[in-house]
């Protein structure tokens, strides 16, 4: 069956061409990149990341990317799986053909999922001149979160810019109640920290009665909204361009120790109050890592963690595990891809093509996050007008390291660079016993969450010195904690009760 109309032999003159040949799942990918003048270009191996993939020439002018063990690079008949060619430079999409020999629909669906992911990543090389030719979901012309989502809902909102120690410029939004008297001192400050491939908009995607950011404002809290480096709401870097690979040389470790640390410090300094911190998913990884640092945690009054993660050993998400088993993170680093942007022209076009009659994209979401019980399917188009935000390939690699190794540790550069950077063969762990016993923590997690698995949550709880208050919701998946139409009653009312039990935040 053809997923796209064009075929490989109809390709125009190419500026870049990628031909991907999927072999048996978990084995080798064959890749060809054609340069500006038609010559074959060998991708440069990544400078960071353990166990780099060997790159070598195969038959018919193809490149083979796979483990150095030659047995695992054995080619199987191409017709047994999938072949696709795509021109990235001028945004021409060529053939994406599933051969008739493929009869296993589970294998077929998995390959399509991986195809969507890979093509979105390859769009990094796009020349960016495709706006007139391809349909893609793009954000509004509003360049600020306040202007796009918050003020239109009737809530006063101000934009703030902060600079991290390594030069990134981050956006913070401050939100007040729509009915608040701005001359009255705001209530306790709450900092909201979003998850992976999301931005501060994550807290405002539903109605005013259903979105946590609005609900907290209506309860009198002084709401601050964080946006990490790389998101569309933040403002770049003091010296680097987004086109520079150094701009994307970071993982959640830097997000925790630089971005979140600077946000907490700014909110504390501005309000002269300890803060309440709310994190979701990757936002909880950042929080727990930051809480091991005494200079950061001393400014935090209490924390609420939605889908808490410090360990990922028991992730059950089908799509994620397939990418991990294929070492997709190491492949994209090897190919010199540093930025992950699923809203690129090519990525959006492929996703639209796949989802339009070929794959149930709600099922795709479930294969990533677990089955979500309660979010509003009719708002999916609106969500996709805003999400997802970019992240870095190194960040994905760090998360996949956590899955493979079962650790909560700093980034693993490999033995030799670890020795140089850390003075040890392995990266140091973030020791959760350093989180103060006196820090009040509230956690909410779900029985259908395929990313923040219950067993991994239990692992986190065993290592913490404090005894968090827990809320377990059996039928909630990973996205429900943000977008469920019942989240106010199921989750947020409990969280607000937890915060209000402390009264006003104290000053240091």
pLDDT tens digits, 466-484 = 999 999 999 999 999 999 9
- Which among 22-36, 64-78, 319-333, 449-463 has the top mean pLDDT? 449-463
Residue 38 or 269, more confident: 269
Q: Which residues are catalytic?
A: 281, 449, 478
Cα–Cα distance list, 497 to 31, 157, 224 (Å): 54, 24, 19
**Residue extents of the structural domains in the chain:** 8-133+318-366, 145-309+444-500
Confidence of residue 13 (pLDDT cuts 50, 70, 90): very low
Stretch 454-460: mean pLDDT: 98
Say yes or no to pLDDT of 139 above 90.
no
Residue 135 banded pLDDT, cuts 50, 70, 90: very low
End-to-end, the C-alpha distance of the chain in Å comes to 65
158 Cβ contact partners less than 8 Å away, ≥ 6 residues apart: 146, 173, 174
- Helix, strand, coil percentages, rounded to 5, for the chain: 35, 20, 45
Instruction: Check pLDDT > 60 for residue 403.
Output: yes
Least confident window among 359-373, 377-391, 399-413: 359-373
> pLDDT tier at 77 (50, 70, 90 boundaries)?
very low
Strands lying side by side in the sheet with 54-57: 54-57, 63-66, 29-34, 17-22, 82-87, 92-98
Residue 86, pLDDT > 70, answer: no
CATH number of 145-309+444-500: 3.40.50.1820
**107-116, 197-206, 385-394: segment of lowest average pLDDT:** 107-116
What is the predicted pLDDT for the residue at 323?
A: 84
Give 314 or 138, the one with higher predicted confidence.
Answer: 314
The CA–CA distances, whole Å, from 344 to 134, 263, 434, 443 equal 10, 29, 41, 35
Q: What is the pLDDT of residue 328?
A: 83
Note the pLDDT of residue 345.
61
The rounded distance, in Å, linking the Cα atoms of 471 and 469 is: 7
Report which of residues 449 and 379 the model is more confident about: 449
The tokens describing 307, both together, are 């889908």
Distance between CA atoms of residues 441 and 290, nearest Å: 14
pLDDT at 251 over 50: yes
Q: What is the pLDDT of residues 101-114, one digit of tens each?
A: 333 444 444 444 44
> Measured between alpha carbons, how far is 192 from 278 in angstroms, rounded to an integer?
5
pTM: 0.75
Model confidence pLDDT, tens digit, residues 322-346 = 889 888 889 888 888 899 887 766 4
Decide if pLDDT at 356 tops 60: no
């Amino acid at each position: 069956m053809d997923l796209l109309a064009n075929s490989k032999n109809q390709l125009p003159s190419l500026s870049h061409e990628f031909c991907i040949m999927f072999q048996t799942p978990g084995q080798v990918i064959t890749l060809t990149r054609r340069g500006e003048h038609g010559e074959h270009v060998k991708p440069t191996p990544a400078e960071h990341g353990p166990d780099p993939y060997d790159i070598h020439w195969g038959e018919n002018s193809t490149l083979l990317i796979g483990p150095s063990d030659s047995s695992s690079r054995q080619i199987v008949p191409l017709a047994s799986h999938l072949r696709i060619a795509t021109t990235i430079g001028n945004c021409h999409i060529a053939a994406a053909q599933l051969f008739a020999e493929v009869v296993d629909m589970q294998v077929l669906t998995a390959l399509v999922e991986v195809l969507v992911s890979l093509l979105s990543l390859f769009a990094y090389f796009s020349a960016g001149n495709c706006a007139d030719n391809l349909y893609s979901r793009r954000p509004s012309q509003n360049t600020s979160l306040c202007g796009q989502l918050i003020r239109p809902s009737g809530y006063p909102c101000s934009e703030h810019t902060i600079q991290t120690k390594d030069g990134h410029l981050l956006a913070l939004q401050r939100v007040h109640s729509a009915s608040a008297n701005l001359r009255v001192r705001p209530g306790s400050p709450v900092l909201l920290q979003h998850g992976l491939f999301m931005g501060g908009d994550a807290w405002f995607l539903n109605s005013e009665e259903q979105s946590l950011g609005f609900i907290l404002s209506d309860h009198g809290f002084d709401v601050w909204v964080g946006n990490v480096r790389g998101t569309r709401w933040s403002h770049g870097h003091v010296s680097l361009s987004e086109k520079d690979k150094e701009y994307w040389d970071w993982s959640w470790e830097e997000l925790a120790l630089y971005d979140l640390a600077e946000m907490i410090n700014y909110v504390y300094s501005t309000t002269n109050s300890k803060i309440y911190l709310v994190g979701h998913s990757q936002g909880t990884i950042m929080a727990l890592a930051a809480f091991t640092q005494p200079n950061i945690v001393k400014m935090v009054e209490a924390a609420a963690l939605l889908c808490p993660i410090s360990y990922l050993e028991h992730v059950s998400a089908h799509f994620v595990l397939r990418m991990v088993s294929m070492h997709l993170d190491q492949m994209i680093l090897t190919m010199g891809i540093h930025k992950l942007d699923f809203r690129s022209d090519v990525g959006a076009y492929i996703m639209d093509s796949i989802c339009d009659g070929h794959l149930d994209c709600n099922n795709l979401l479930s294969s990533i996050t677990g089955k979500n019980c309660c979010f509003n399917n009719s708002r999916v188009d609106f969500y996709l007008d805003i999400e997802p935000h970019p992240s870095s390939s190194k960040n994905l690699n760090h998360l996949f390291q956590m899955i493979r190794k079962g650790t909560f540790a700093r980034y693993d550069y490999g033995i030799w660079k670890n020795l140089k950077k850390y003075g040890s063969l392995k990266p140091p762990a973030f020791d959760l016993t350093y989180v103060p016993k006196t820090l009040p923590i509230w956690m909410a997690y779900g029985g259908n969450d395929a990313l923040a698995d219950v067993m991994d949550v239990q692992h986190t709880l065993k290592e913490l010195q404090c005894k968090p208050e827990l809320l377990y919701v059996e039928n909630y998946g990973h996205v429900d904690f943000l977008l469920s139409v019942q989240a106010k009653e199921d989750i947020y009312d409990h969280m607000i009760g937890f915060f209000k039990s402390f009264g006003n935040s104290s000053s240091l």
